[in-house]
Amino acid sequence: MLNDFISQVGPSTVGGLASGAIYALIALGYTMVYGVLRLINFAHSEIFMIGSFAALFVIMQMGITEPLTGVALVGTLLLLLIASMAASGGAAVVLERVAYRPLRKRGASRLAALISAIGASIFLQELFALVIIPEVFDRPSQGRNQVPVPRLFDRETVFSVGNTDIRNDHLLIIGAAVIMMILLDVFVNRTRIGRGVRATSQDPETAVLMGVNIDSIVRTTFLVGGAMAGVAALLYTMEFENLRFNIGFLLGVKAFTAAVLGGIGNLRGALLGGLALGLIENWGSIFFGSEWKDVIAFTVLVLVLLFRPTGILGESLQRARA
Amino acid sequence: MNANSTIRDGNPLAMLRQTVVGYSDRVRDWWATAPGWARWTVYGLLIALAIIAPHPAIGSFMSPHSHWASLLFSPIGTFVLLAVGLNVVVGQAGLLDLGFVAFYAIGAYTMAVFGTKYGWNFWGVLVVGIFITAVSGIILGSPTLRLRGDYLAIVTLGFGEIVRITAQNTEYIGGARGITNIPHPQPIFGVEFFLDPLPYYYLLLAAIVLVVIFAKRLERSRVGRAWEAIREDEDAAELMGVPTFKFKLLAFFIGAMIGGLTGVIWASKVIAIQPPNFPFILSATILAAVVLGGSGNLPGVIIGAFLIAWLPERFRGFADYRILIFGAALVLMMALRPEGLLPPRRRRAVTGEVSKPETPPAGGDEAGDDRPAEEVAK
């Protein structure tokens, strides 16, 4: 058992960090919306799903069938990045307008908002399974099956540490996630809008009195959180090369776990929580087998909440909640 | 004026809202002031209606596309019982549980395992199954009930998934193939249980009636008042000397029992169960039924569960699109009337706080709620 662990720990660490980076990017959306509205944006998983299909749509429109190299690859990735960020960010803004704002304006309970989010989530999944995948992606009556994604670039080992090969795709994922986190951190902590976001999450009523436009802040929060999910969606599409109408659900739950693990409302916590969750999951799989991966993730969630309910770094975007 | 009839804007949504609110509020207010005999008549009529419900003449209208009596058993009957169980947790104690399906699954698996592996009698398993799910409620509740609101929601969601994936990965209980050849209940009072759904429906109906009476008695008891206090303000309840943790655990315990009961009855009819029978979406659907009907109000919850189970079947003509429509309907319903079709007379936030930022609550939660029947006149 221990020998197994030692021989597999390297690869599963790299794999864990890569999936953890994707969790972290999705977790940002949960954490930001939760920070500002105290609401689990349950349909965030579908925002992710929309982004991944947007990336696939562009890939298909460009007629990519062979793996790319060099400038063509970089250009394509940038284009895909813009497409998936725009699709996810846009969808998040629409979602907020349709499913949340009417409730917010009426002062409805948070349970009502959660139900509305679950409804939106079901609607979007079914929309893809019934209409968009069969029609737009030209897979009639296969809307609930997996949709394969052409390979964008060949996997190559960039360098090795001990017996562990570090591949270019893993480096890209982790690198992209870290860059996005830094950009987001700068946005929230250094810009004027970011200050509005922080103010709203600390005390919405006072923020209004200070001239913060809450509606616009909420919209921005959804837009930015959605765009981050879009980045995650592109990375996921590129790495796992298989999409499905319900890919968002499990990733969404895990990303929320990551957000809680790091301390919900805490942006850096989301990164830490995502990476930690990815690692724990993959290391745990060595011992228990990969079919227990999801159980491990949820068990970690339960344990964290029991022993440190505010997460590793604590709740920081807003005041701590009772 | 009623809080919800304040016209904020003259758009069609607001007008539609008016209509929905008008009808359900009128029913609610009439009920609150109805004399005892009227209530008993209604109870009697409802039970009589439930007894004649499987009649094919009703079925031909209610479900032209599928077998009405089977439909009445599942999903309609099971949804109603599950929703009544979840209502204890969510509606009465205000604990947001997103993994309620876990208890249903545990009940169903208890029936399957004891029935196939040990040859137990259904009636024996019924008792054991309820006991086991109640214990599982305690096991889930005792560590997690110290958490609040959203954290509890996500932990219970995790618990639901853990139960399902564990069932899928455990060979002893059939793994992904599930368990087949689950025995039917032994005859009781000369009623045979075989493939005909009718006896199961009446069994479930009896269970529903008993559970509803039980839940209603609880609501009016010290326990019910303690739950209400916890739901409204946990800190205040604690300060007033309510042992909040104990009562929250009790809510989980009772909710789990009802979920398990449903699972046992359901498994005894369907012959075979598999892990995918217990997806997260089922938890979400039951929660939607509770909230749609009016969380905390038993008649509302029952109507909500009935609608959520029945409408998609009734409109099977729309084939695949019914789930899509269901999703859209949830969003629309929450925008129109977030407190549900028939909310309890004392309306309140369910998961602790009404989202107080941004807008002052339109008309307030307290204002206009405890008001007697003069509202009806308007």
Quote the CA–CA distance of A220 and A199 in Å, as a whole number: 13
| Mean pLDDT in residue range A211-233 | 93
What is the torsion angle, in degrees rounded to the nearest 10, for the CA atoms of residue B10, residue B13, residue B14 and residue B15? 80
| Mean pLDDT in residue range B40-56 | 81
What domains are defined for chain B? 68-377 (1.10.3470)
Q: What was the pLDDT predicted at B377?
A: 36
- The reply to whether A107 touches chain B by the CB within 8 Å rule is yes
Mutation to test the A interface, candidates B334, B339, B348, most A Cβ within 10 Å: B334
Please list every residue in chain A whose beta carbon sits closer than 8 Å to the beta carbon of residue B338: 103, 106, 108-109, 112-113, 116
* pLDDT single digits (tens) B107-137: 999 999 998 888 888 888 999 999 999 999 9
Q: What was the pLDDT predicted at A138?
A: 83
- Counting residues of chain A whose pLDDT is more than 70, the rounded percentage is 97
| Mean pLDDT in residue range B134-150 | 83
Cross-chain CB nearest to A130 (options B291, B292, B321): B321
Q: What was the pLDDT predicted at B67?
A: 80
Name residues 65-84 of chain A within 8 A of B (Cβ). Answer: none
| Mean pLDDT in residue range B16-21 | 70
Query: How much of chain A is helix, strand and coil, in % rounded to 5?
Result: 75, 5, 20
Query: Which of B57-66, B95-104, B262-271 bottoms out in mean pLDDT, i.e. has the lowest?
Result: B57-66
Q: Are the C-beta atoms of B262 and B277 separated by less than 8 Å?
A: no
Q: What was the pLDDT predicted at B20?
A: 67
Quote the CA–CA distance of A29 and A49 in Å, as a whole number: 13
* Res. A293: pLDDT tops 90: no
CA distance A271 to chain B (A): 19
Q: What was the pLDDT predicted at B232?
A: 84
What is the torsion angle, in degrees rounded to the nearest 10, for the CA atoms of residue A148, residue A154, residue A157 and residue A163? 40
Q: Which two tokens stand for residue B51?
A: 């007894």
* Res. B358: pLDDT tops 60: no
- The reply to whether A104 touches chain B by the CB within 8 Å rule is yes
Closest to A253 in 3D by CA, of A56, A40, A65, A101: A40
Whose tokens are 């200070």? That residue is A210
Phi, psi of B191 (to 5 degrees): -95, 125
Is residue A280 domain-resident? yes
Q: Are the C-beta atoms of A98 and A46 separated by less than 8 Å?
A: no
Q: What was the pLDDT predicted at A264?
A: 81
Closest to A55 in 3D by CA, of A247, A319, A288: A247
Q: What is the CATH number of the domain that holds A71?
A: 1.10.3470
CA distance A282 to chain B (A): 17
Query: CB burial class (10 A; 0-12, 13-18, 19+) of residue A139?
Result: middle
Query: Which of A198-202, B97-101, B190-194 bottoms out in mean pLDDT, i.e. has the lowest?
Result: B190-194
* Res. A253: pLDDT tops 90: no
Please list every residue in chain B whose beta carbon sits closer than 8 Å to the beta carbon of residue A37: 355, 357
| Mean pLDDT in residue range B354-377 | 39
* Res. B73: pLDDT tops 50: yes
| Mean pLDDT in residue range B218-241 | 89
Do A103 and B148 lie within an 8 Å CB cutoff?
no
Q: What was the pLDDT predicted at B337?
A: 78
**3-state class of B365 per DSSP?**
coil
Q: Which two tokens stand for residue B101?
A: 């399906």
| Mean pLDDT in residue range B74-99 | 90
Whose tokens are 């499987």? That residue is B54
pTM, two decimal places: 0.82
**Which of A235-239, B311-315, B331-335 is predicted most confidently?**
A235-239
Q: Bigger pLDDT: B115 or A9?
A: B115
Please list every residue in chain B whose beta carbon sits closer than 8 Å to the beta carbon of residue A106: 338, 359, 362
Quote the CA–CA distance of B71 and B290 in Å, as a whole number: 19
Q: What was the pLDDT predicted at B318?
A: 64
* Res. B367: pLDDT tops 60: no
| Mean pLDDT in residue range A182-211 | 89
Is residue A74 domain-resident? yes
**3-state class of A84 per DSSP?**
helix
Secondary structure (H, E, C), B209-273:
HHHHHHHHHHHCCHHHHHHHHHHHCHHHHHHCCCCHHHHHHHHHHHHHHHHHHHHHHHHHHHCCE
* Res. B356: pLDDT tops 70: no
Q: Give the count of domains, chain A.
A: 1
Burial profile B69-102: b = 16 or more Cβ within 10 angstroms, e = fewer? bbbbbbbbbbbbbbbbbbbbbbbbbbbbbbbbbb
Is residue A298 domain-resident? yes
Count other C-beta atoms under 10 Å from residue A1's C-beta. Answer: 7
Is residue A183 domain-resident? yes
Is residue A4 domain-resident? no
Do A126 and B288 lie within an 8 Å CB cutoff?
no
Predicted confidence band of residue B352 (pLDDT cuts 50, 70, 90)? very low
Quote the CA–CA distance of A23 and A48 in Å, as a whole number: 11
Predicted confidence band of residue A217 (pLDDT cuts 50, 70, 90)? very high
Q: How many CA atoms lie within 13 A of A221 on its CB side?
A: 32
| Mean pLDDT in residue range B192-197 | 75
Query: Which of A266-280, B13-27, B324-338, B345-359 bottoms out in mean pLDDT, i.e. has the lowest?
Result: B345-359
Query: Which of A6-15, A143-152, B89-98, B216-225 bottoms out in mean pLDDT, i.e. has the lowest?
Result: A6-15
Please list every residue in chain B whose beta carbon sits closer than 8 Å to the beta carbon of residue A208: 358
Q: Would you give the DSSP letter of residue B11?
A: S
Q: Which two tokens stand for residue A47?
A: 């925002």
Q: A307 to chain B: nearest residue by CA?
A: B143
Is residue A156 domain-resident? no
Point out which residues pair with A159 in neighbouring strands: A166
Count other C-beta atoms under 10 Å from residue A224's C-beta. Answer: 24
Q: A102 to chain B: nearest residue by CA?
A: B335
Residues in CB range of A257: below 8 A, 6 or more apart: A23, A273, A277, A297, A298, A300, A301, B154, B158
* Res. B335: pLDDT tops 50: yes
Q: Which two tokens stand for residue B288?
A: 């939607």
Q: Which two tokens stand for residue A173?
A: 């994922």
Name residues 249-308 of chain B within 8 A of A (Cβ). Answer: 280-281, 284, 287-288, 291-292, 295
Q: B361 to chain A: nearest residue by CA?
A: A107
Mean per-residue pLDDT over chain A, rounded: 87
- The reply to whether A120 touches chain B by the CB within 8 Å rule is yes
* pLDDT single digits (tens) A100-153: 888 888 877 777 888 888 889 989 999 999 889 888 888 888 888 889 998 888
CA distance B378 to chain A (A): 22
Quote the CA–CA distance of B123 and B127 in Å, as a whole number: 7
Q: What was the pLDDT predicted at B319?
A: 58
Quote the CA–CA distance of B111 and B48 in Å, as a whole number: 30
Q: B162 to chain A: nearest residue by CA?
A: A295
Q: What was the pLDDT predicted at B103?
A: 94
* Res. B148: pLDDT tops 90: no
- The reply to whether B353 touches chain A by the CB within 8 Å rule is yes
| Mean pLDDT in residue range A60-76 | 87
| Mean pLDDT in residue range A242-262 | 88
Is residue A254 domain-resident? yes
Quote the CA–CA distance of A200 and A119 in Å, as a whole number: 26
* Res. B264: pLDDT tops 90: yes
Q: Which domain holds residue A115?
A: 10-144+165-307
Q: Which two tokens stand for residue B163?
A: 């139960």
Closest to A145 in 3D by CA, of A41, A242, A257, A249: A242
| Mean pLDDT in residue range A90-108 | 89
Q: How many CA atoms lie within 13 A of B329 on its CB side?
A: 17
Burial profile A14-28: b = 16 or more Cβ within 10 angstroms, e = fewer? bbbbbbbbbbbbbbb
Cross-chain CB nearest to B338 (options A109, A298, A299): A109
Q: What is the distance, to the nearest Å, from the Cα of residue B262 to the centroid of all Cα atoms in its chain?
A: 11
Please list every residue in chain B whose beta carbon sits closer than 8 Å to the beta carbon of residue A296: none
Whose tokens are 């949709």? That residue is A147
Count other C-beta atoms under 10 Å from residue B328's C-beta. Answer: 18
Please list every residue in chain B whose beta carbon sits closer than 8 Å to the beta carbon of residue A113: 334, 338, 355
Is residue A274 domain-resident? yes
Q: What was the pLDDT predicted at B3?
A: 44
Count other C-beta atoms under 10 Å from residue A183's C-beta. Answer: 13
Q: What was the pLDDT predicted at A231?
A: 95
End-to-end CA distance of chain B: 8
| Mean pLDDT in residue range B289-305 | 86
Cross-chain CB nearest to A126 (options B168, B327, B338): B327
Quote the CA–CA distance of A36 and A207 in Å, as a whole number: 11
| Mean pLDDT in residue range A37-50 | 90
Q: What was the pLDDT predicted at B33?
A: 77
